Amino acid sequence: MKKNIFVYILFINIFILFCICLETIKVRWQFSQEYENNAYLQVANNKLTELNFNLKTEYYHLSSPAKVERHAKEILRMVEIKKVTTIKYEK
């Protein structure tokens, strides 16, 4: 009787140990997946930061006063006013 109880307790302990080992393996696998995801996110963040910098540079270049003035002169054929003329209307 006593021997059967010890065998039963031994099997329960082995089963619990097996479950703990499986849980440990699962947690380690999840940690490795999270490290890979973190590395991927850092690379994506660096690419987006570089793209943001390039877009800001392009925006400042396209909206610069010299670019706007050149566009007005060349494409819209606008000319600079050299002399201010005043028109007086008779009453």
The pLDDT tens digits along the chain (91 residues) read 788 899 999 999 999 999 999 999 999 999 999 999 999 999 999 999 999 999 999 998 888 888 888 888 888 777 776 777 777 787 6
Rounded CA-CA distance 63/61 in Å is 6
Number of separate domains in the chain: 1
Domain presence at residue 71 = no
Establish if 69 belongs to a structural domain: no
The residues near 61 (Cβ < 8 Å, ≥ 6 apart) are 67
Cα-flanking dihedrals φ and ψ of residue 38, to 5°?
-65, -45
Within-domain flag for 73:
no
Q: Which domain holds residue 43?
A: 2-63
